[in-house]
Chain A
Amino acid sequence: DIQMTQSPSSLSASVGDRVTITCQASQDISNYLNWYQQKPGKAPKLLIYDASNLETGVPSRFGGSGSGTDFTFTISSLQPEDIATYYCQHYDNLPLTFGQGTRLEIK
């Protein structure tokens, strides 16, 4: 199985800050990497697919980059409604696996 390692595991930032989360795969996954947002008590929501493509309807302050084993998720200007846990997930092969999550809080 491909292991996905996210960092940090938790993050506190102020409204308006630029926020960055990293995800490292245990082997080359090309750009087969997605990012999800999960708010408390809710299902995950797909934000970014193919490492850098914004899902329809997702605000442009969210972004992603990377390929191979190292990936980055960015919120350019943190908003109060962005408080959530964020997960990366690969789909290079099966089984699909997720990172352990990054919990984002407002400072």
Chain B
Amino acid sequence: QVQLQESGPGLVEPSQTLSLTCSVSGGSISSGSYYWSWIRQPAGKGLEWIGRIHTSGSTNYNPSLKSRVTISLDTSKNQFSLKLSSVTAAETAVYYCARDSLYGLDVWGQGTTVTVSS
């Protein structure tokens, strides 16, 4: 049973870089043809797809964030990571990592709250 767990700072200052890691347990991040995704949700609002990385290392990003997003894979640690630069208060949200099985986002982490504030 694959499980995902997000980790990282809960508070980031405006204009700084948000960095989160998703640890994968119960299976290898390199096995199968999956994408590993990041999604965020501001409090009381809907879901926004940020981007994803394939087990091959290829990436896809939401065009609205593309210039500021980097998603990377660390197969030795069975983790993948999100970096979002130049953040603003509007990017305060719960950030989720999820597995994309190409038919759907079928495994999700519990989410981690990131507040952008000075």
Contact = CB atoms under 8 A, between A and B. Distances in A.
A49 interface: yes
- Interface size of A as a range: 20 to 34
B36 interface: no
Say what secondary structure dominates the interface of chain B. Answer: loop
- Interface size of B as a range: 10 to 19
Interface stretch (B8-16, B26-34, B76-84, B103-111): B103-111
A96 B46 CA distance: 13
Interface string B62-81: 11100000000000000000
Interface of B: 46-49, 60, 62-64, 96, 98, 102-106, 108-111
Interface of A: 1, 34, 36, 42-46, 49-50, 53, 55, 87, 89, 91, 94-101
